[in-house]
């Protein structure tokens, strides 16, 4: 019997997840179907429960439902607890709902494995302190980043997120927060090796409103948004940074991790990434 999976979001028609998981299933010989489900903004839980009642085994969750998905879980992975958000739901044999968050591991794999940018011992600047950022701080630290600096328009939110992770272990972790406006001074004093944009600025066609020059000292930049060239990556190119990467690989790698959670089989990702890249608008 074919196992059913889905991605749930609002909006959802743009999602590449059905194509990605169909390719994973074909490559690994797994008997499954995968569909996109549009959930009403006020009824994510109902959409999920109806899907499960109809035989659904698991689902990816996208905006704006990741925090709501976290709340409906019976069991959460440590990385989901850290993130305060769930993007991968599974149903146990006993009917319990399990939640995980694969965003951070997807980012780290794309940066460290696909791009070949070292993270161990490096100073990482993470732009933004919202849900996207919260899901990747833990995995970046676990990957060996020497320091994670979180910068946000509102400094208090960045400081609060840094404190959450900085106090999570037996010893303080190298994570701190500051205001976006303070970046130029910080970059001059202690340059970051890798800069990651976890804000929605590229989606909105913005450049964060920062003065030129704050990229000082960086060797690589990454935008969680993807496209031919996001505004953030165009800005980095104009600043002379040679190593630039968008978030398409993160999208595929986090999907591969979800596929592994559901099927205990890890698919290859390179062919899927190449096919998606070939179809992006120029």
Q: With CA atoms as reference, report the closest residue to 200 among 140, 153, 254.
A: 153
Is residue 87 within 8 Å of 69, Cβ to Cβ? yes
Q: What tokens were used for 15?
A: 């999602």
Q: Check the annotation: does 79 bind a ligand.
A: no
DSSP type of residue 206: -
Q: Is 88 a catalytic residue?
A: no
Q: Check the annotation: does 222 bind a ligand.
A: no
Q: Check the annotation: does 130 bind a ligand.
A: yes
Q: Check the annotation: does 162 bind a ligand.
A: no
Q: How many helices (H) and strands (E) are present in the chain, helices listed first?
A: 11, 12
3-state secondary structure of 221: strand
Q: Check the annotation: does 156 bind a ligand.
A: yes
Distance CA 113, CA 11 (A): 31
Q: Check the annotation: does 62 bind a ligand.
A: yes
Q: Check the annotation: does 132 bind a ligand.
A: yes
Q: Check the annotation: does 128 bind a ligand.
A: yes
Give the number of other CB atoms < 10 A from CB of residue 50. 13
Q: Check the annotation: does 43 bind a ligand.
A: no
Q: Check the annotation: does 157 bind a ligand.
A: yes
Q: Check the annotation: does 199 bind a ligand.
A: no
Q: Check the annotation: does 153 bind a ligand.
A: yes
Q: With CA atoms as reference, report the closest residue to 253 among 87, 129, 120.
A: 87
Q: Check the annotation: does 247 bind a ligand.
A: yes
φ, ψ at 88 (rounded to 5°) = -140, 115
Q: What tokens were used for 89?
A: 């739901």
Q: Which run of H or E residues covers position 32?
A: strand 32-38
Q: Check the annotation: does 104 bind a ligand.
A: no
Q: What tokens were used for 252?
A: 């595929």
Q: Check the annotation: does 226 bind a ligand.
A: yes
Q: Check the annotation: does 74 bind a ligand.
A: no
DSSP track, 72-114: H-SEE-HHHHHHT--SEEEE-TTS-EEEE--HHHHHHHIIIII
Kindly give the residue spans of alpha helices, DSSP state H, lying in 119-241: 131-142, 155-166, 183-189, 231-238
Q: State the catalytic residue, choosing from 21, 66, 123, 244.
A: 66
Please give the annotated binding residues for NADP(+), written as ranges: 128-132, 152-157, 224, 247
Binding residues: 15-17, 62, 87, 103, 128-132, 152-157, 224, 226, 247, 254
Residues assigned a catalytic role: 66
Annotated binding site for shikimate: 15-17, 62, 87, 103, 226, 254
């Amino acid at each position: 019997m074919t196992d059913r999976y889905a991605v749930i979001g609002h909006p959802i028609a743009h999602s590449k997840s059905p194509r990605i998981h169909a390719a994973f299933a074909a490559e690994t010989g797994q008997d499954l179907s995968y569909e996109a489900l549009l959930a009403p903004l006020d009824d994510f839980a109902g959409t999920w429960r109806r899907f499960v009642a109809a035989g659904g085994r698991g689902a990816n969750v996208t905006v704006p439902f990741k925090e709501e998905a976290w709340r409906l879980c019976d069991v959460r992975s440590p990385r989901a607890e850290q993130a305060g958000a769930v993007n991968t739901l599974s149903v146990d044999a006993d009917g319990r709902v399990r939640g995980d968050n694969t965003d951070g591991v997807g980012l780290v794999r794309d940066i460290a494995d696909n791009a070949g940018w070292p993270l161990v011992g490096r100073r990482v600047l993470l732009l933004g302190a919202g849900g996207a950022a919260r899901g990747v701080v833990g995995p970046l630290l676990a990957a060996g980043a020497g320091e994670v600096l979180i910068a946000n328009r509102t400094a208090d939110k960045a400081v609060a997120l840094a404190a959450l992770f900085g106090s999570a272990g037996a010893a303080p972790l190298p994570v701190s927060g500051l205001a976006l406006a303070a970046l130029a001074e910080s970059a001059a004093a202690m340059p970051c090796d890798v800069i990651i944009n976890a804000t929605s600025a590229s989606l909105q066609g913005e450049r964060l409103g920062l003065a030129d020059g704050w990229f000082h000292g960086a060797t690589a930049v990454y935008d969680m948004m993807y496209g031919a060239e996001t505004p953030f990556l165009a800005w980095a190119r104009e600043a002379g940074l040679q190593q630039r990467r968008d978030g398409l690989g993160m999208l595929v790698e986090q999907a591969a991790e979800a596929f592994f959670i559901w099927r205990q089989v890890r698919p290859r990702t390179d062919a899927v990434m190449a096919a998606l890249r070939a179809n992006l608008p120029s």
